[in-house]
Amino acid sequence: MVSQKRHYSGKLIAVEGLDGSGKSTQIYLVKRWLELEGYRVFFTEWNSSILVRKSTMKGKKRQLLTPTTFSLIHATDFADRYERQILPLLRAGHIVLADRYIFTALARDAVRGVDREWVTELYNFAVHPDITFYFRVPLEISLNRILEGRPALKYHEAGLDMGWSTDPYESFRIFQGKVFAEYEAMREQFGFTCVDATEEIHVQQAKVRQTIREHIDLPAYRRRLCP
Amino acid sequence: MPLKDRLFLGRRLPEVRDPRFSGKLFVIEGADGSGRSTQIAQLTKWLEANGYAVRHMGLRRSNLVSEELEQAKQGNILTHTTLSLFYATDFFDQLVHEIVPALRAGLIVLADRYIYTLIARNLVRGANRAWTYNLYSPAIMPDAVFYFRVGAKQLVERNFQKNSTLDYWESGMDLGLSRDMFDSFVAYQRLLQTEFQRMQKENGFEIINANLKVETIQRELRKKIGAMLNLSQ
């Protein structure tokens, strides 16, 4: 890590899972809950610097990226958001919510053939979340949720750069299957809290809130100022 | 030279399936004003005269991010981890798209700085050593590294001759070593030299005394490179 890991008083909650696992819906509901209860919560919006964003977009559009540079440009982008936003918020004592975190990158890069240890070490400047919810859903269900009403898949999103198949849908299927296997392999290593993403939304949310209450001393995060 | 006992510094690069290259990679390292580009131009002439095809690489020359890196240099807007990852992206983009194909095709690649400058810059900025070495560990191992050593005071003189000012980054002004640019330049270059000395021992660089005359240095380089190519001077 370039910057030293410093002590921070905030809490970091991340959601991970396949596209179509419903994780964004769940983290949004967590945000609403904590806001309405009057806690210092911040949902990271993933606004990276213009410069980094420009390069990433250019690389994707012109298909210049190879597995290593794909990995590095995303790590750059993450570092930028991490150092400018996530870490300062944690240091200032917020509950920070992240829709996807380093595990997305670890899974995706491993699928692209990048050395697992190399990329894990690459991201080791980032603190690990206090809770990582893993929304686990059978591959077929997530594929159906995503592919329904979604006519076009993007080049990298479908994993077309890997040459597994020239058909975007078939390629996406293969790609997601491999990402699923990576998530499964990371579950224990990183202590994910598993949520059955086939259950009803409010049932999942109740379990998520319960876990948060158990792990985080919420009263310590009450807003200090009256709105 | 204990170099080149392996293809990669550490980990393998996923883009390279067959690690057999017929080309050679020679690296020139040294501060701004140490005479790298003059020597590289003359080496190129000599190699081409002898029928060798040459390709160049340097820092901030990738298709992918060179423009944005140049802009980032103009305003000090990226934090250290971000900037070092950005430089690594630039480096690996050139490596994968230009250097590997060139080496595969049997060309001589002359690198005007390589990972060692990038590593040294990170380390003097307080980066974790293991993290930094891991970052560059899938880089291709050079066939030889020539480190141009110049005293900090001579460097100042050469920089003034060349640009009539000191460069913000080459003075390490972002480190806050001193608010005085001259003091900062000297302190920063000394820190880099210390890192290079350390790397020299670990990696077996050839040290070139860059205070000598241009022709003397060129003769020495040709002798060493020529020996590796079975080429007379």
What's the pLDDT tens digit per position in B104-160?
999 999 999 999 999 999 999 989 999 999 999 999 999 999 999 998 888 888 888
Q: Does residue A77 sit in helix, strand or coil?
A: helix
Tens of pLDDT, residue by residue over B35-70, are: 999 999 999 999 999 999 999 998 888 888 888 888
B176 CB-contact burial (10 Å; exposed 0-12 / middle 13-18 / buried 19+) = exposed
What is the mean pLDDT of the segment spanning A87-91? 94
Domains of chain B: 24-228 (3.40.50.300)
In angstroms, the CA B156 to CA B189 distance is: 10
Using CA atoms, how far residue A216 sits from A34, A37, A38, A203, in Å, is 12, 14, 15, 20
Which residues are bridge partners to B109 per DSSP? B25, B55
Chain B hits for A67, CB-CB cut-off 8 Å, are: 14-15
Q: Let me know: does B166 contact B178? Beta carbons within 8 Å.
A: no
Q: Let me know: does B65 contact A74? Beta carbons within 8 Å.
A: no
Domains of chain A: 11-220 (3.40.50.300)
Asked if the Cβ–Cβ distance from B130 to A58 is below 8 Å, we say: no
What is the mean pLDDT of the segment spanning A21-48? 91
- pLDDT band for position B28 (cuts 50, 70, 90): very high
In angstroms, the CA A59 to CA B64 distance is: 6
Which residues on chain B place their C-beta less than 8 Å from a C-beta of chain A?
11-15, 63-65, 68, 71-72, 77-82, 84-86, 88-89, 92-93, 96-97, 122, 125-128, 130-132, 134-135, 137-138
- pLDDT band for position A152 (cuts 50, 70, 90): confident
What is the mean pLDDT of the segment spanning A131-136? 98
Asked if the Cβ–Cβ distance from A66 to B135 is below 8 Å, we say: no
Distance from first CA to last CA of chain A, Å, rounded? 37
User: Percent of chain A having pLDDT more than 70?
Assistant: 93
| Chain A: closest CA distance from residue B116 (Å) | 16
Handedness of CA B13, B15, B20, B21 (dihedral sign): negative
